[in-house]
A and B are shown apart, each in its own frame.
Chain A
Amino acid sequence: MPSGTPANTLPLAPLVLLFAGAVLTIAPHALWLPWWVDGVAGGLLVWRFWLAVRGGALPARWLLALVTAVAAVGVYLSYRTIMGRDAGVTLIVLLLSLKLLESRSRRDIFIAAFLVYFVALAGFFYSQSMQTAGWMLVTVLINTAALVGFSAPARPIADNLNTAGRMLIEAGPVMLLLFFLFPRVQGPLWGLPQDAYSGITGLSDTMSPGSISQLSTSDAIAFRVKFQGAAPPRNRLYWRGPVLSEFDGKTWRAGFPRLNREPLLEVRGAPIDYEVTLEPHNRNWLFTLEMPGRIPPNARETSDYLVLSLPPVRSRIRYEARSYLDYRATAGADARDLALELRLPRDSNPRARALAGEWRQSLGNDTAIVGKGIEFFRASRFEYTLLPPLLGMNSVDEFLFDTKQGFCEHFAASFVFLMRAAGIPARVVTGYQGGDTNPVDDYMVVRQADAHAWAEVWLPQNGWTRVDPTAAAFPIRVESGVAAAARGAAALPLLLRTNIDWLKAMRNNWEALANKWNQWVLGYNPDRQREILSWLGVQQPSWQTMAMMLFWSVAGVLLLIALWLLRGIRHVDPVQGAWLRFCQKLARAGLARDGAEGPLDYAGRLARQLPGRAPAVRAIVQLYVELRYGSRGERHSLARLKQLVRQFKP
């Protein structure tokens, strides 16, 4: 390479640590970064490492500038922007590897080390699990040890790691105080880039064949529930999500429900109170058990009983709600509304229409028609599968009469179609069904795999009535969950299918721990901060109060750390200490020792000036000289010296 700067001007040991830190911090990103970025970053690191170990010149600046420019263009081509979150992180990763490649001075090293910290932070965009936290802690430890190494190049790596570890431990109390007391602001401070919440999965406000079965292959947690009392039986756990009223022949979409002014809900039976910790899904809806009687403050309820949060749920939130399992729901049932729930695309699915028309003619009674529909699903030999065949234009006909293989969305959609064709207002409700209680912490866990779709029909005497055609065809789905019911369950994650007890126990323990982590670390938000402060006796603190609390507590902790760190700065030899105390006593009496005066000369002078104390002085001086200059130092002589000095009065 045409450059004069040798690569090995920097000490090797801390450089190796810095490389290790960089590799550790980039590694979690490598999974999602474009393949060429992994390649380029890895190549640059290996190149620099090779130069550091084998010696040789660093690449010339023009070459680095060229690589930088090419990388920037590459990022633009990959993302069509360089401003978004992912593009930004990609750029920083490339920048870090380039910075390491060109590092020749201590200044460069600092920039590279700070970039490592920054990339570690960026890792939290993608995961904030406990494993990620542990991984990042190791990264920070190694990177900090590299910094220590660069300020003390001759020290062994193990010592530098030790120093870095001690500093991190000492920083721990400060970190905890800041974490709990630093005034929390609910982000974002400004508009986030478009891709900020990409990769968040969950239900959507549309449903087409395949959309829910796809969700079912994920064992990601949708939300956790803590019931005040006992949890209701599994087959009654219908967690209400988006209600879909519009059908275009293929896709079901949400209608335009109004916000519910007065809750039109007659309830019976005991209320069920519970607290939900909802994972972010970047939508507004909050899942509640059917039907919600009391909703969280700050939330709204639509006329189709969907609870909405005003901002989209972009971070894990907690809310409390009350539901009633027995109810008569009559909202959204004006003639106008009901007309909307009857609309069907013209000329589609003729066989289903014919069947529904037949039911209408032969039965006449709405309740009887609904019963007939349920009976139809129960009697027909449907197959419940995660991998249904693709359907064509008349999807309902093909499913009901030809393929007969489907997932809950097929069942719900075709049931609603049949009801509407028979003149009964009906709609599709999506959400989750079921949930597993973790015996370790008694939290019920509802996963994406529990996503479900069912139907709701309008019966004048009952109001909106839930009908679950999937449950009619496959009761086991609502009794035991999707894994037990579905064919093609091999596509489900292992832990959803397994019956091995110890594996389940392990998962339960792990998820309970993860839940604690979520509740206390990740879910620590302005609300929880207020909770903690009021528990500490501070009600509604102003930001000034918060700042003062923070300042004084951090100052106190730092004082303790300082005392701990400086405790050995003045090493006092106990013999010398006793001797100094003796001299101080005499100095106060006006008989200070002259700087150049040896202990024996001093003793002689004291004996002349304080004849009455001569024996005591002689004893002390003799002991001191013996202990300090003599060959034998004995414990009891030291104790004796201390005692003599203590008793001595000039």
Chain B
Amino acid sequence: MKLDRVLQYSQAYNFYQWVRKRHAPEPGVVFLSQRRVYILPTRPGITFGCVLVLMLVGSINYSLSLGYILTFLLGGMGVVSILHTFRNLAHLYLSAGRVAPVFAGDTAHFELFLESRSDFDRHSLDLRCRGATVSCDVPARRISAVLVPLKAERRGWLQLERITVETRFPLGLMRAWSYVQPDMRALVYPRPDSSSLPMTVPVPDTGEVFSAGAGTDDFAGLRPYQASDSPRHIAWKASARNESLLTKFFAGQAAAELWFDWEQLPPDMNTEARLSRLARWVLLAEEQGLRYGLKLPDSGVPLGGGSAQRDRCLRELALYRVPDVGERHIHA
């Protein structure tokens, strides 16, 4: 019998791992097995125990038979409440939902699904993540969605932190809890500053600027794929990054066009300030329905318009020189 294997299955070991934050994010559906549900009395629970001892002493002292009955009934109820609290949390299934990108300084809302495959309703499940608490009920054999707020401090990827799922139902005398860390991250755009659009006059058709980079005369930008698009025009590389099909479009644009260039910003601005300024410009340009492109030292976004263009630009800004996958523990 291997001792370390036995240890790994023990609740205490599991708990230790969680407390030491040694757990990696868990992909897929997280199952709260009984091994990872911990349960201890709450402070009122301990007070309740003391009250019961007092009641027992009173019953003995005054020979109150009904006092014994009341004390033992309440004691039995306290013990049964352990089982109820445990069953309210154990065997719950958690899975990651969606999370919309946010600007740095805002709060990202991570969508989590809580599924009960049991025959009874679960009540008052609290999800706590860095001080914020959200509560939800999960009826029998249903899935409930819950949004866990997490403040996005910096641009880049915001990994969902360890969540404490806990419940005190039904009596509040016991607290059952479990730690989960779904593999989930939110994209955090740089916080836009409050500047206005650059005073550069929109130049009509600056195809020559782009031809230097892409070598295609008529290429104008990307737009979401439509069923009628020719497969030859699908921008495969861009699509792969964007997680949805994009089509290159070649039509000439009559609208004004803007290029937001990293290099043209004042030289005394630092990286984050530049990104904030560029993000602001992207938002303003999109608001005014302009066509715009982005030039960064390492990358760029060709001219384009629409919300897809905005999201792509902001994504480039958010991930500018952010180490990507493999080193996800940004806040660890």
Interface residues in chain A, defined as those with a beta carbon under 8 Å from any beta carbon in chain B? 106-107, 110-111, 114, 117-118, 120-121, 124-125, 128, 132-133, 136, 140, 144, 147-148, 150-152, 154-155, 163-164, 167-168, 170-175, 178-179, 182, 185-190, 192, 196, 314-315, 521-525, 558, 561-562, 565-571
Interface flag for B107 (CB, 8 Å)? no
Q: Contact check: which of A144, A182, A565, A569 meets B68 at CB < 8 Å?
A: A182
Shortest beta-carbon distance, A45 to chain B, in Å? 21
**Docked complex Cα distance between A168 and B64 (Å):** 20
B70 and A167 contacting across the interface, CB-CB below 8 Å: no
Given A136-B66, A178-B72, A179-B68, does the pair A566, B61 have CB atoms closer than 8 Å? Answer: no
- The total number of A-B Cβ pairs within 8 Å is 167
* Contacts A/B (CB < 8 Å), 19 sampled: A124-B70, A125-B64, A132-B66, A140-B74, A151-B169, A152-B124, A152-B137, A167-B77, A171-B74, A172-B76, A174-B79, A182-B68, A187-B60, A187-B62, A189-B60, A196-B62, A521-B69, A561-B80, A571-B119
B83 and A121 contacting across the interface, CB-CB below 8 Å: no
Of B7-15, B44-52, B200-208, the one contacting chain A is B44-52
**Docked complex Cα distance between A136 and B168 (Å):** 26
Interface flag for B75 (CB, 8 Å)? yes
Q: What B residues does A314 contact at CB under 8 A?
A: 63
Given A170-B80, A192-B62, A566-B87, does the pair A118, B55 have CB atoms closer than 8 Å? Answer: yes
Q: What A residues does B70 contact at CB under 8 A?
A: 117, 120-121, 124, 136, 140
**Docked complex Cα distance between A562 and B118 (Å):** 15
Interface flag for B120 (CB, 8 Å)? yes
B72 and A182 contacting across the interface, CB-CB below 8 Å: yes
Interface flag for B90 (CB, 8 Å)? yes
A152 and B123 contacting across the interface, CB-CB below 8 Å: yes
Interface flag for B67 (CB, 8 Å)? yes
Q: What A residues does B51 contact at CB under 8 A?
A: 114, 117-118
Interface string of B63-107 (1 = CB under 8 A from A): 111111111111111011101100100110000000000000000
Could you say which of A128, A154, A175 has the most chain B C-beta atoms within 10 Å of its C-beta?
Answer: A175
A189 and B61 contacting across the interface, CB-CB below 8 Å: yes
Interface residues in chain B, defined as those with a beta carbon under 8 Å from any beta carbon in chain A? 43-44, 47-48, 51, 54-55, 57-77, 79-81, 83-84, 87, 90-91, 117-120, 123-124, 137, 140-141, 168-172
**Docked complex Cα distance between A391 and B65 (Å):** 45
Shortest beta-carbon distance, A2 to chain B, in Å? 30
Q: What A residues does B171 contact at CB under 8 A?
A: 144, 147-148, 151, 167
Who on chain A is nearest to B80 by CB? A170
Q: What A residues does B170 contact at CB under 8 A?
A: 147-148, 151-152, 163-164, 167
Q: Contact check: which of B74, B90, B140, B172 meets A150 at CB < 8 Å?
A: B172
Shortest beta-carbon distance, B11 to chain A, in Å? 16
**Docked complex Cα distance between A315 and B60 (Å):** 12
Shortest beta-carbon distance, A324 to chain B, in Å? 33
Shortest beta-carbon distance, A105 to chain B, in Å? 11
**Docked complex Cα distance between A629 and B59 (Å):** 62
Given A117-B74, A175-B69, A571-B118, does the pair A186, B81 have CB atoms closer than 8 Å? Answer: no
Given A150-B172, A189-B61, does the pair A114, B47 have CB atoms closer than 8 Å? Answer: yes
Who on chain A is nearest to B168 by CB? A151
Given A128-B65, A151-B124, A565-B83, does the pair A175, B76 have CB atoms closer than 8 Å? Answer: yes
Who on chain A is nearest to B59 by CB? A121
A106 and B65 contacting across the interface, CB-CB below 8 Å: no
Given A168-B73, A571-B118, does the pair A174, B47 have CB atoms closer than 8 Å? Answer: no
Dominant SS at the B interface?
A: helix
Shortest beta-carbon distance, A460 to chain B, in Å? 47
A171 and B48 contacting across the interface, CB-CB below 8 Å: no
List 4 A-B pairs, minimum CB-CB distance, nearest first. A568-B119, A174-B76, A171-B76, A110-B44
Q: What B residues does A570 contact at CB under 8 A?
A: 91, 117-118
B80 and A128 contacting across the interface, CB-CB below 8 Å: no
A179 and B72 contacting across the interface, CB-CB below 8 Å: yes
Who on chain B is nearest to A168 by CB? B77
Could you say which of A151, A163, A178, A179 has the most chain B C-beta atoms within 10 Å of its C-beta?
Answer: A151
A155 and B123 contacting across the interface, CB-CB below 8 Å: yes
A128 and B66 contacting across the interface, CB-CB below 8 Å: yes
Who on chain A is nearest to B73 by CB? A175
Shortest beta-carbon distance, B88 to chain A, in Å? 10
Q: Contact check: which of B80, B118, B168 meets A171 at CB < 8 Å?
A: B80
**Docked complex Cα distance between A151 and B135 (Å):** 11
B91 and A147 contacting across the interface, CB-CB below 8 Å: no
B68 and A571 contacting across the interface, CB-CB below 8 Å: no
A571 and B66 contacting across the interface, CB-CB below 8 Å: no
**Docked complex Cα distance between A464 and B73 (Å):** 54
Given A179-B72, A571-B117, does the pair A565, B61 have CB atoms closer than 8 Å? Answer: no
Q: What B residues does A170 contact at CB under 8 A?
A: 76-77, 80
Given A174-B72, A571-B119, does the pair A107, B44 have CB atoms closer than 8 Å? Answer: yes
**Docked complex Cα distance between A171 and B59 (Å):** 19
Q: What B residues does A523 contact at CB under 8 A?
A: 65
A569 and B91 contacting across the interface, CB-CB below 8 Å: yes
Q: Contact check: which of B74, B83, B124 meets A562 at CB < 8 Å?
A: B83
With A121-B71, A167-B81 already in contact, 6 other A-B pairs whose C-beta atoms are closer than 8 Å: A110-B44, A110-B172, A120-B70, A124-B70, A178-B68, A570-B91
Shortest beta-carbon distance, B87 to chain A, in Å? 6
Who on chain A is nearest to B85 by CB? A151
Q: What B residues does A107 contact at CB under 8 A?
A: 43-44
Could you say which of B62, B123, B124 has the most chain A C-beta atoms within 10 Å of its C-beta?
Answer: B62
Q: What B residues does A120 contact at CB under 8 A?
A: 70
A124 and B119 contacting across the interface, CB-CB below 8 Å: no
Q: What B residues does A568 contact at CB under 8 A?
A: 118-120, 140
Who on chain A is nearest to B117 by CB? A571
Who on chain A is nearest to B118 by CB? A569
Shortest beta-carbon distance, A318 to chain B, in Å? 14
